[in-house]
């Protein structure tokens, strides 16, 4: 680590890692509730909200931590204001903590979310961004403070690089795209129209831009590949992501009451979305082939795995149901859930995990660390996730057949499902939890335990 202020990244990483564990435990509870609805005092709706909001928040925290590491490094200067970064961190933790308590309280006492002056105080009820209005403002403020700090760091030194510029550009896009989610209208069609700007333009726009920048950074750090080449490919990837992803939003406008031309626009542009993701995979392999000196094998392994699973989860599992001709059968089924899991895992969980393994050793001041636990954690998480996704893809096919071909209603189908789908999801969920547990343990131990010969050899072999 070159600059003392990069240490702030660790606060965000710790928050992210702890919430990842919470998200996973809550995911297992949600899965058990498919078999046993009354297993807990909190109902499925609250558990599901906690699961997906924890996901969004921890990934954002991880990306913030990564940015606080990358921007000073690329700017070749200390962060503009360390106290501001600390304030922003604690304000975020406090706001998120209050929102979570609010969801739990609402679960115990649904009346508590009754409108006050027309505003629901505990949950706004829009999937993934359920946070109430007062929290929206706090979150927006926190993100603006975060942006100001990083942009001022860049302005202060005037040392600008493509990586850092693209990263901050993606973050500004991300912030702007939070605002359509705060727009109230009485029309459900318009509400959904704007809501997708947040959800879709985040994960298939802004976040992919950030991923492109961080992939270039990671490859440069672990292989010492030339910056000019990496940045050239980054611009091509990111340009293509925006070209396909922005109009690709249309794949959510097929059936919500928007004009018919969206069937064409959405179908054509979203079908092209896997192309830049495939470029990223190729970029990772090309860089690895051309630069043989690797400083952090696990880091390179995870960065490449991120590129591959971004392509498989978002690209492949996305494109299979993105044409309107297919989507009219699969819309809103477990096929969607299967894709949602593999896409988020491949594109963003692995991105944050890879960034942590690449930057944390520098933050903790070590060059060598036990890599074996990191590999084991990766395999437990990845194999379990792949099986969860295969299981619910199967469940989704059965659901599509019964609901859309036989015309049975949602509740009847839910009541007649083969329970084994749900039992397998729970079992693989525990496998995933074990992998997350290893990762969390490794996070707290990294650089703080002696490097053993055995584990160094294991890492050699695994790589």
Question: Which residues bind to ligand HEM, rule: CB under 6 A?
Answer: 24, 27-28, 30-31, 48, 51-52, 55, 127, 203-204, 251-252, 270, 273-274, 314-315, 318-319, 321-322, 327, 331-332, 336-337, 339-341, 343-345, 347, 349, 425, 429, 432-433
**CA 352 – CA 25 distance, rounded (Å):** 19
Residue 27 interacting entry, from Fe ion, ligand HEM, none, C-beta within 5 to 8 Å by type = ligand HEM
Q: Spell out the SS3 assignment of 68-100.
A: HHHHHHHHCCCCCCHHHHHHHHHHHHHHHHHHH
Nearest residue (CB) to ligand HEM, 96 versus 319: 319
DSSP 451: P
Which of Fe ion, ligand HEM, none does residue 432 bind to, with CB < 5 to 8 Å depending on kind? ligand HEM
Q: State the minimum distance, in angstroms, from the CB of residue 253 to ligand HEM.
A: 10
Output the residue with the shortest Cβ distance to Fe ion.
200
Q: Which does 372 bind (CB under 5 to 8 A by kind): Fe ion, ligand HEM, none?
A: none
Which position has the token pair 């115990």? 108
Q: Tell me which DSSP letter residue 331 carries.
A: T
* Phi and psi angles of residue 445, each rounded to the nearest 5 degrees, phi first: -90, -25
Q: Which of ligand HEM, Fe ion, none does residue 321 bind (CB under 5 to 8 Å by kind)?
A: ligand HEM
Minimum distance, C-beta of residue 315 to Fe ion, in the bound complex (Å):
12
Q: Which stretch binds Fe ion (CB under 5 A): 21-29, 84-92, 195-203, 331-339?
A: 195-203
Contacts of 173 (CB under 8 A, 6+ apart): 201, 205, 206, 209
Closest approach of Cβ 204 to Fe ion, in Å? 5
Is 200 or 221 the residue whose CB approaches Fe ion more closely?
200
Residue 200 or 306 having the CB closest to Fe ion: 200
Nearest to 275 by CA among 296, 303, 297, 244: 244
Phi, psi of 204 (to 5 degrees): -110, 5
| Beta bridge pairs of residue 383 | none
**Chain centre distance of CA 159:** 29
Regarding 321 and contact with Fe ion (CB under 5 A), the answer is no
E-only strand ranges, 303-432? none
Instruction: Rule CB under 5 A: choose which of 200, 306, 339, 341 binds Fe ion.
Output: 200
Find which of ligand HEM, Fe ion, none residue 14 binds, CB within 5 to 8 Å per kind.
Answer: none
According to DSSP H, which parts of 34-43 are helical? none
DSSP 8-state symbol, 333: S
- Enumerate the β-bridge partners of residue 116: 119
CB 313 within 8 A of CB 274: no
From Fe ion, ligand HEM, none, which one binds at residue 343 (CB under 5 to 8 Å depending on kind)? ligand HEM
- Decide if 149 contacts 88 (C-beta within 8 A): yes
Residue of closest CB approach to ligand HEM: 318
Cβ 309 to Fe ion, closest distance in Å? 17
Nearer to ligand HEM by Cβ, of 222 and 350: the residue is 350
CB of 196 to Fe ion, least distance (A): 7
Q: Which is nearer to Fe ion, 29 or 349 (CB)?
A: 349
Nearer to Fe ion, 89 or 253 (CB): 253
Give the pair of three-digit tokens for residue 365: 């001041």
Give counts: helices (H), strands (E), the chain.
Answer: 19, 0
Find out whether 61 and 111 touch, Cβ atoms under 8 Å: no
Contacts of 452 (CB under 8 A, 6+ apart): 370
Q: Smallest distance from the beta carbon of 330 to ligand HEM, in angstroms?
A: 7
User: In terms of CB distance, is 140 or 278 closer to ligand HEM?
Assistant: 278
Report the nearest approach of Fe ion to the CB of residue 248 (Å).
Answer: 6
Tell me the window of 24-32, 111-119, 162-170, 196-204 that interacts with Fe ion (CB under 5 A). Answer: 196-204
Q: How far is the CB of 396 from ligand HEM (least distance, A)?
A: 10
Residues in contact with 377: Cβ distance below 8 Å, sequence separation at least 6, in sequence order: 435, 436, 438, 439, 442
Residue 9 vs 29, nearer CB to ligand HEM: 29
C-beta of residue 433 within 8 angstroms of C-beta of residue 28: yes
Residue 264 DSSP symbol: H
In the complex, minimum distance from the CB of residue 189 to ligand HEM, in angstroms, rounded to a whole number: 16
Q: How far is the CB of 237 from Fe ion (least distance, A)?
A: 18
Would you state the structure tokens that stand for residue 66, as one six-digit string? 């990564």
Instruction: Give me the least distance between CB of 194 and Fe ion, in Å please.
Output: 14
Q: Whole-angstrom Cα distance, residue 153 to residue 286?
A: 32
Cα radius of gyration rounded to whole Å, the chain = 22
Residue 124: contacted member of ligand HEM, Fe ion, none (CB under 5 to 8 Å, by partner type): none
| Smaller CB separation from ligand HEM, 52 or 79 | 52
Question: What residue ranges bind Fe ion (CB under 5 A)?
Answer: 200, 204
């Amino acid at each position: 680590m070159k600059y003392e202020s990069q240490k702030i990244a660790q606060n965000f990483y710790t928050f992210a890692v702890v919430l990842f564990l919470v998200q996973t435990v809550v995911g297992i509870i949600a899965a058990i509730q498919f078999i046993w609805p009354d297993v807990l005092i909190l109902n499925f709706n609250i558990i599901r909200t906690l699961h997906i909001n924890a996901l969004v928040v921890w990934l954002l925290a991880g990306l913030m931590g990564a940015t606080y590491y990358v921007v000073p490094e690329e700017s070749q200067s200390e962060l503009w204001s360390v106290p501001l970064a600390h304030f922003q961190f604690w304000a975020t933790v406090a706001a998120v903590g209050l929102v979570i308590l609010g969801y739990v309280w609402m679960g115990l006492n649904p009346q508590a979310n009754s409108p006050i002056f027309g505003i629901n105080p505990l949950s706004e009820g829009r999937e993934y961004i359920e946070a109430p209005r007062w929290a929206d403002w706090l979150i927006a403020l926190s993100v603006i403070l975060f942006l100001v700090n990083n942009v001022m760091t860049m302005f202060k030194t005037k040392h600008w690089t493509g990586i850092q510029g693209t990263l901050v550009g993606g973050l500004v896009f991300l912030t702007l795209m939070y605002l359509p989610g705060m727009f109230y209208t009485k029309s459900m069609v318009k509400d959904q129209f704007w809501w997708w700007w947040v959800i879709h333009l985040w994960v298939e726009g802004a976040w992919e831009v950030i991923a492109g920048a961080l992939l270039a950074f990671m490859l440069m750090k672990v292989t010492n590949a030339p910056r000019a080449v990496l940045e050239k490919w980054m611009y091509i990837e990111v340009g293509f992501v925006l070209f396909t992803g922005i109009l690709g939003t249309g794949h959510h406008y097929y059936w919500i009451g928007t004009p018919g031309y969206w069937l064409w626009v959405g179908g054509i542009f979203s079908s092209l979305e896997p192309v830049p993701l495939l470029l990223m995979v190729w970029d990772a392999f090309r860089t690895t082939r051309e630069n043989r000196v690797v400083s952090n094998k696990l880091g390179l392994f995870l960065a490449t795995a991120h590129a591959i699973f971004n392509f498989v989860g978002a690209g492949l599992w996305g494109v299979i149901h993105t044409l309107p001709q297919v989507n009219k059968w699969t819309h809103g089924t477990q096929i969607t859930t299967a894709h949602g899991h593999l896409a988020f895992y491949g594109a963003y969980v692995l991105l944050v995990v890879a960034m942590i393994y690449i930057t944390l050793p520098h933050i903790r001041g070590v060059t060598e660390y036990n890599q074996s636990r990191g590999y084991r954690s990766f395999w437990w998480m990845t194999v379990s996730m792949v099986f969860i996704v295969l299981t619910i893809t199967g469940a989704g096919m059965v659901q599509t057949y019964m609901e859309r071909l036989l015309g049975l209603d949602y509740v009847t189908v839910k009541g007649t499902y083969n329970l084994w789908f749900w039992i397998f999801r729970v079992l693989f969920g525990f496998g995933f939890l074990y992998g997350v547990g290893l990762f969390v343990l490794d996070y707290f131990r990294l650089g703080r335990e002696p490097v053993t010969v055995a584990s160094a050899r294991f890492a050699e072999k695994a790589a």
